[in-house]
Amino acid sequence: MEPRARVGKNRGQQNFSDRELDSFLYAFGDVHTPLEGTRKVLDELLTDFVTEICFEAARSATLAGRQKVKLDDIKFTCRKNPKYLGKIQDTLDKKSEIDKAKKLVDMNDDKITKSDVKGLEEELGDGDDDDEKVTLGGRSSKK
């Protein structure tokens, strides 16, 4: 069965959640709670759009001799529409920024290895010696 024929089997089913569709519509100027018919039409339009993009990307991957669709295939599919291509590029740029930020802030930074400690040590100079006397618990000691 041709892939496009399989899409017809899912007609009438909602593929996106009501919350996603409501947020999407509200972001583009609709009311907080849109009509049910509006949601259904938007869901159908989005599903058809995503399906067509995926089929075209799969076709370009097949012509390139691959079975898997790559991001370049989707970019190639959107090459004639600069708005789509620009949005894809913006999303990729944001993703790379987020990945760089995640590398800087390592969440598993609980353990400090010996190599990390050696990197943190610094050479003490003559000005770092303090001759102040501090009294701790009744005892006098150098700080």
The tens digit of pLDDT for each residue in 82-102 reads: 999 999 999 999 999 999 888
Structure token digits, residue 76: 């190639």
Structure token digits, residue 9: 């089997």
CA distance 123 to 104: 25
**pLDDT at position 24 over 60:** yes
**Domain boundaries, given as residue ranges, for the chain:** 3-106
Q: Which residue has the higher pLDDT, 98 or 12?
A: 98
Q: State the pLDDT confidence band at 10, using cuts at 50, 70 and 90.
A: low
- 59 alpha carbon, distance to own chain's centre: 26
CATH homologous superfamily, domain 3-106: Histone, subunit A (1.10.20.10)
pTM of the model as a whole: 0.60
